[in-house]
Amino acid sequence: MISVTPYLNIDTLNLADKDRLLEKSTRIRELDAALSNSLPPTLRHAVEDTLFTVNSYYSNLIEGNATLLADLFKPDTNSTSNTSSDDSPSQDLDQSARLDYLELMQHIEVQAKTVALQTPADKLCSTSSITALHYDFFNGLPPEKLVCTFANENSTETVLLTPGQYRSHQVIVGKHVPIDPSRIKSHMDWFEQVFTISRISYIRQLIAAAGAHHRLAWIHPFLDGNGRVVRMFTDQYMRAIGLQGYGLWSMSRGFARHAAEYKTFLARADLPRKGDTDGRGILSDSGLLQFTEFFLDTAIDQLEFFKSIFQPQTLRKRIRQYFLMRDNQDEIADVGPMPKLRAEAGRVYQVLVDEGPLMQKELREWSGLSESIFKECVAGLRRDKLILADHKQPVKALIPPHAIPVFFPKMMV
């Protein structure tokens, strides 16, 4: 039997703590619904794709990835298609920076894959689902990123990580000594049993999400990559408990912007129980309460921020500003100089934002541009990954990383 409280039982909390947690949970669901309804539906998929980049940057930043925003935002304008080019920004970086950049790109791909797969809610906590996150992340990285150096009680060891496999070594993570490798499977079986969503009432699900985030980190099932796997798992869990706007906002951004507090509150939930009034499991319920409140407060903070930057009228102004900057060839912060793009391209782009995907003939009619100017605008938009314009397919609006600083200021600062 695993003697660990999985998540806070609100029925055993004092009335003040219970009311506070439930009020915050209700507030999160209200803000999430409002955010989901505030963004033009035509931009939703493009914004969700953008959030993969945001999540990747912030989640890896917590782990010490030193990729600069300037490297992440650097445009690839060498290709005339919407496929990746061999002349990617990583080619201009030194070896260490290149590995960090590739790590971010791999993280983005894994997020996109998990959303596309739509794993059933009751399978998210399974061993197969969680180890798949780890496998997909590390299996795409260069061998240099699989070399792990870790501390244990007697020494420091260096071994080669195997993607998707539980650790077979005992480790020490700061002051935390995770469970012995021989007990990982039983704890992961317990994790699946207690956190399967259909077994948790609606009003407890956000509280359970906080508990799952900490308990998976506490188990520390893998030799490396636990933090990123935990945060990707939490992204899946938040979607699965019915947050319709999740994917338009990011827990990882909130954790990274308050990284010291994030690590402090995780550590407090690691602490052993302090007497008979501190829960019934081996870990401190008061520590878990503090982490749960931090988790819920982080969600509210991020929801309020993302709702503010998705206001339709201000977003329209920022899109117009971006295309004026491109026409004037003004430098964009963290991006640098970009090829000239006619201001009229903004009219084409805004039509796609307002109306959704359109065939090129319809798009030209909506834009009111002459055929020659329209073709020049489409070519520039396509070159800069602002649209997806496949042959004989509707044209779709995209949001490339280099547009983020203007479209969504402060999203990545």
User: What are φ and ψ of residue 148, in 5° steps?
Assistant: -120, 130
pLDDT for the residue numbered 81? 39
Q: Which of 62-76, 207-221, 288-302 has the lowest mean pLDDT?
A: 62-76
CA 73, 230, 258, 252 torsion-angle sign:
positive
Categorize the per-residue pLDDT at 87 as very low, low, confident or very high, splitting at 50, 70 and 90.
low
Cα torsion 59, 60, 64, 68 to 10°: value is -110
Question: So what's the pLDDT on residue 378?
Answer: 97
Centroid of chain to Cα 364: 35
Crossing angle of the two packed helices 205-219 and 184-195, in degrees rounded to 10: 170
Question: What mean pLDDT, rounded, does the chain reach?
Answer: 93
Q: According to the model, what pLDDT value does residue 94 have?
A: 87
Please give the model's pTM, rounded to 2 decimal places.
0.94
Residue 78 is predicted with a pLDDT of 47
**pLDDT confidence tier of residue 279, bands split at 50, 70 and 90:** confident
Residue 79: pLDDT over 70: no
pLDDT tens track for 226-259: 999 999 999 999 999 999 999 999 999 999 999 9
Q: Tell me the C-alpha to C-alpha distance, in Å, between residue 135 and each of 41, 162, 398, 401.
A: 33, 8, 29, 26
Q: What is the pLDDT of residue 88?
A: 65
Q: With both helix axes pointing from N to C terminus, report the angle between 127-139 and 184-195 in degrees, rounded to the nearest 10.
A: 110
For the cut 60, the answer to whether the pLDDT of residue 357 exceeds it is yes
CA distances from 173 to 153, 176, 266, 357 (A): 11, 5, 12, 49
Residue 385: both structure tokens together: 């990954």
Q: What tens digit of pLDDT does each residue of 383-392 get? A: 999 999 998 8
284 pLDDT higher than 60: yes
- What confidence score (pLDDT) does residue 153 get? 77
Is the pLDDT score of 374 beyond 90?
A: yes
Which of 85, 83, 58 lies closest to 72 in space, CA to CA? 58
Distances from the Cα of 58 to the Cα of 15, 34, 112, 235, angstroms: 36, 24, 16, 13
Render pLDDT for 44-55 as a digit per residue (tens, 0 to 9): 999 999 999 999
For tokens 């020659």, the residue is 372
- Residue 277 pLDDT grade (very low, low, confident, very high; cuts 50, 70, 90): confident
User: What is the structure's pLDDT at 40?
Assistant: 86
CA distance 334 to 404: 10
Collapsing DSSP to helix, strand or coil, 160 comes out as strand
Cα 253 from chain centroid? 7
* Residue 345 pLDDT: 98
322 vs 90, higher pLDDT? 322
The 10s digit of each residue's pLDDT in 123-160 is: 999 999 999 999 999 998 999 999 998 887 778 889 99
Pairing of the two strands 387-388 and 147-151: unpaired
Q: For residue range 157-205, what is the model confidence (pLDDT) as tens digits?
A: 899 999 999 999 999 998 899 999 999 999 999 999 999 999 999 999 9
Question: 284 near 176, Cβ under 8 Å?
Answer: no
Confidence category of residue 85, pLDDT binned at 50, 70, 90: very low
Domains for the chain: give ranges and CATH numbers: 10-309 (1.10.3290.10), 312-407 (1.10.10)
The rounded distance, in Å, linking the Cα atoms of 132 and 9 is: 30
Q: Could you tell me the pLDDT band of residue 80, with boundaries at 50, 70 and 90?
A: very low
**Strongest mean pLDDT among 74-88, 109-123, 147-161:** 109-123
How many C-alpha atoms does 220 have within 13 Å on its Cβ side?
20
